[in-house]
Amino acid sequence: MEKNMESRAYARLAALFDDGAFTEINAAVKEAEDAAGVVCAYGYVNGNAVYAFSQDKTVNNGAVGLQHAAKITKLYGLAAKTGTPIVGIHDSNGAFVNGTVDSLTAYGRMLEAASQLSGVVPQIAVVAGTCAGSAALLACGSDFVVMTKDAELFVAPPFAEHAGTAQSAAKAGICALVCEDDIAAMEQARALVNLMPINNLAGAPMFEYAESESQASPSLPDLVKAVADADSLLELYGDYGKAAYTALATLGGTTVGIAATNKTEDPLNTEDSAKLARFMRTCDAFSVPVITFVDTMGFAASSEAEQTGSIQAMTRLVACYAEATTIKLSVVTGNAVGAAFTALAGAACGADFTYAWDQAVISPMAPLTAVEFLWHDKLKGAADANAKRKELAAEYAATLASAQSAAEKGGVDAVIAPADTRETLLSALDILSGKRVSKLPKKHNNIPF
């Protein structure tokens, strides 16, 4: 192994595995007259067994041919047999071109193997150079995509400025994390392996932890820091769906997914819905509990196109939350208006427990709108109609739309003080740790794409 360490493919594997130690598989396999341009290996990441491949541009530009694909496909088969996570490090200029169907067959075999393994073991793609053509489909089919800032990811050669870059992939919701260089990317891949269960039948990993010293408040940074264990938050897809927040963290030493709707004050749009839905599906595939903090005035739909897109995105979001069988906890920390409450905290979401802070507002419509529908007669004769409308909206929020009213009607399970949020969630996670759900026999749901 040492004689090859000048190759970035080997150096990247060394940065991924504990103490830089790994065992190469099928090292002698050739593609035509040269070695196949990929290094396949196994080793340990924080003590957990992991399979990984690293494409080697120093050999035929890392070109993918039948033998190259066979090495990677074998790795997927081994991961399936042993229930072991797999990390793919992508850096190749494309297919081994010989004018035949071989390159298509090669990519097809890898894509089939990866698809079959999806939801069985965590798959992490690290794009550390060029990832083009069908290889981009392979990378994007992973549970998480990590990219170095100078990496490229595209199916067809990009012609528009910034297309195919890590930044554009992050803004499109393809890339979960963008890193400065190879070392940082491998550190993030290690963090993801560490936080995720090793397969879909394994329990969540357990860690030593320290409680956060932050105080819970409606502000998103303070809120998630106060709930999660100290220094455990790993935000994902930070550049996509700006109003929504998703992160992996630990709570009481156990991995949880944290979702929130108030990263900005904007209503949720189609990207936010897609981001939350994708995150729920990822966590649910590996039975990672999901905690959703709800504080939003609802979904954006200011134009006909947005209205249509929002309906589809919201439907996907509701379906993903409803179908998920992992532990689901929701906390309304501010406003939960209309379909947003239904999708993320109400009966449709199937939350095991829904909590609300004592000052939360839970309403089928915005308070000002509710005044027009319910109490319009109270505006008659008001010297200042706008001031009276705001006064009535505040009254509505404190009465019919209050957290206490929602609790009395069974809409939430308990009204809690912000300071009690962490302990409440810890207690719920503990009592729900043995959760088991049997679903109706079917192949899968049929949500709109």
Task: Say what the pLDDT of residue 304 is.
Answer: 64
First to last CA, the chain: 46
The predicted structure's pLDDT at residue 32: 80
Q: How confident is the model at residue 2 (pLDDT cuts 50, 70, 90)?
A: very low
| Inter-CA distances, 64 with 27, 59, 129, Å | 16, 10, 15
Under 8 Å between Cβ of 361 and 338: no
pLDDT in tens, 351-364: 999 999 999 999 99
Q: How far apart (Å, rounded) are the C-alpha atoms in residues 248 and 279?
A: 10
Q: Is the pLDDT of residue 386 over 80?
A: yes
pLDDT category at 439 given cuts 50, 70, 90 is confident
Confidence of residue 305 (pLDDT cuts 50, 70, 90): low
Of 185, 6, 193, 187, the closest CA to residue 90 belongs to 185
CB 52 within 8 A of CB 16: yes
Q: What is the pLDDT of residue 94?
A: 79
Residue 4: what pLDDT? 58
Task: Give the strands of the sheet with 38-45, arranged side by side.
Answer: 22-25, 38-45, 48-55, 86-90, 123-127, 144-148, 177-179
- Locate tokens 């360490």: which residue? 5
pLDDT of 79: 98
Instruction: Quick: pLDDT tens for 237-259.
Output: 999 999 999 999 999 999 999 99
Instruction: Average the pLDDT over 217-238 and give the result.
Output: 95
pLDDT reading at 90 higher than 90: yes
Burial 344-371 (b: 16+ CB within 10 A, else e): bbbebbebbbbbbbebbbbbebbbeebb
Mean pLDDT, residues 184-213 taken together: 96
Rounded to an integer, the average pLDDT of 283-303 is: 91
How many whole angstroms separate alpha carbon 322 and alpha carbon 352? 11
What is the per-residue DSSP string for 323-369?
Answer: H--S-EEEEEEEEEETHHHHHHTSGGGT-SEEEEETT-EEESS-HHH
Which one has a higher pLDDT value, 7 or 333? 333
Given this chain, do its domains 2-195 and 220-360+402-431 carry the same CATH topology? Answer: yes
Q: What mean pLDDT is reported for the chain?
A: 93
Question: How sure is the predictor about 271, in pLDDT bands with cuts at 50, 70 and 90?
Answer: very high
- Provide CB contacts within 8 A for 423, sequence distance 6+: none
Binned at pLDDT 50, 70 and 90, residue 1 comes out as very low
Q: Which of 278, 262, 253 is nearest to 429 (CA)?
A: 253
Q: What mean pLDDT comes out for the span 70-88?
A: 97
Share of the chain above pLDDT 90, in %: 79
3-state secondary structure of 154: strand
More reliable by pLDDT, 441 or 305: 441
Is the pLDDT confidence value at 218 over 90?
Answer: no
Q: What is the pLDDT of residues 17-27, one digit of tens each?
A: 999 999 999 99
Confidence at residue 303, expressed as pLDDT on a 0 to 100 scale: 60
Instruction: Quick: pLDDT tens for 105-157.
Output: 999 999 999 999 999 999 999 999 999 989 999 999 999 999 999 999 999 88
Alpha carbons 396 and 363: distance in angstroms, whole number = 9
Q: Which two tokens stand for residue 182?
A: 């190879």
Q: How far apart are CA 256 and CA 248, in angstroms?
A: 6
Joined tokens for residue 106: 């090669």
- Token readout for 337 is 């208006």
Pick 312 or 193 by higher pLDDT: 193
- Cα–Cα distance, 430 to 384 (Å, whole number): 53
Task: Determine the average pLDDT of the residues in 210-219.
Answer: 89
CB 90 within 8 A of CB 125: yes
Amino acid (1-letter code) at residue 254: T
User: Is residue 60 very low, low, confident or very high in pLDDT (cuts 50, 70, 90)?
Assistant: confident
Are 288 and 255 in contact by the 8 Å Cβ rule? The answer is yes
| CATH class of the region 220-360+402-431 | alpha beta
Q: Where are the domains of the chain?
A: 2-195, 220-360+402-431
- Indicate the pLDDT class of residue 302, thresholds 50, 70 and 90: low
* Statement: 2-195 belongs to CATH 3.90.226.10: yes
Contact 269, 241 (CB under 8 A): yes
Number of neighbouring beta carbons within 10 Å of residue 255: 23
Among 341, 354, 286, 353, smallest CA distance to 314 is for: 341
Q: What is the mean pLDDT of residues 317-340?
A: 96
Question: Each residue of 377-389: b (16+ CB within 10 Å) or e?
Answer: eeeeeeeeeeebb
Going by pLDDT thresholds of 50, 70 and 90, the confidence category of residue 3 is: very low
The candidate with the shortest Cα–Cα distance to 320, out of 246, 373, 228, 218, is 246
